[in-house]
Amino acid sequence: MKALTQTDLHLPGQTSVYHGKVRDVYGIGEDTLVMVATDRISAFDVVLPEGIPCKGQVLNQIAARFLDATADICPNWKRAVPDPNVTAGVRCTGFPVEMIVRGYLCGSAWRAYKAGERELCGVRLPEGLRENERFPQPIVTPTTKAELGLHDENISREEILRQGLATPEEYATMERYALALFARGTEIAAQRGLILVDTKYEFGKLADGTVCLMDEIHTPDSSRYFYSEGYAERFSAGEPQRQLSKEFVREWLMSEGFSGQKGQRVPEMTPAVVEGITARYVELYEQLTGETFVPASDTTEERIAQNVGQWLGSLS
């Protein structure tokens, strides 16, 4: 299948367009956003040269499920899914931070801990922790939300407030929502034989000032999952965990000498590498939802434009 790596839609009432790392976001009128999940893939804040067929559909459908499954916890932006690759919703003014919730010590947090760091975004970590060890309770470790081509940076609650990136009340609301969403995601994952290891949430404000969940939620791009079966045995033996997330892409890149540093070149993404990444995304979808993934046929700009145009027409 051919990957959908870019869109250039011209939708009824369109007022803006923003091409992010992996999503193309179209503004419609004053209060509606149409978010297209493309098959682009990024790692270390770099958009990789090859798209991953079906990735956008997987992300969009998982995110839509979890937005519905958590709507009782906090308001979210979703209004409709007019196309397998598209979610449409209410325009929010985003906070320039991402709320990262971690239940286990792994990934970038482990790499920092292994290098000797014992404070992460203002959170003190005890001595003697091991890779993939569960924290006594989940911790919140925010990052800045970087522009395309720049790296997100860790930031503490105190620094967020000092810089005026959120008010104390807004930050407290985001943190409360993030922990509650993580708890719900953990419950759902456990029902499917998975462990929700860590994830990120993005929040914004509606026109009336209400804090609202934006973007995706609990997808393999924004989250890391371990398989529950065998976790304890692998942890005791110091072995890598079986996981479903984008971390395996980062690990492959690092094994090829690329970690997003200046002067490094992205390694060749052969058809076999691309197919393998698609298979992992589909595997997570099926494991997390319990349903067989059915790829949409002919994922094209034309199909997306037609479906979104019909949905917009139904609003008038």
pLDDT value of position 127: 95
Confidence band (pLDDT; 50, 70, 90) for 151? low
Which amino acid belongs to residue 246?
Answer: K
Pick from 220, 225, 193: which is nearest to 277 by CA?
220
Q: Report percent pLDDT > 70 for the chain.
A: 98
Lowest-confidence region among 37-41, 71-75, 150-154: 150-154
CB atoms within 10 A of CB 218: 26
Cβ pair 93, 74 in contact under 8 A: no
Cβ pair 100, 90 in contact under 8 A: no
**Per-residue model confidence as pLDDT tens digits over 179-205:** 999 999 999 999 999 999 999 999 999
Cβ pair 301, 8 in contact under 8 A: yes
Domains of the chain, residue spans = 94-245
Find the DSSP H helices in 70-211.
107-114, 157-162, 168-191
Which amino acid belongs to residue 221?
Answer: D
Confidence band (pLDDT; 50, 70, 90) for 1? confident
CATH fold for the domain made of 94-245: D-amino Acid Aminotransferase; Chain A, domain 1 (3.30.470)
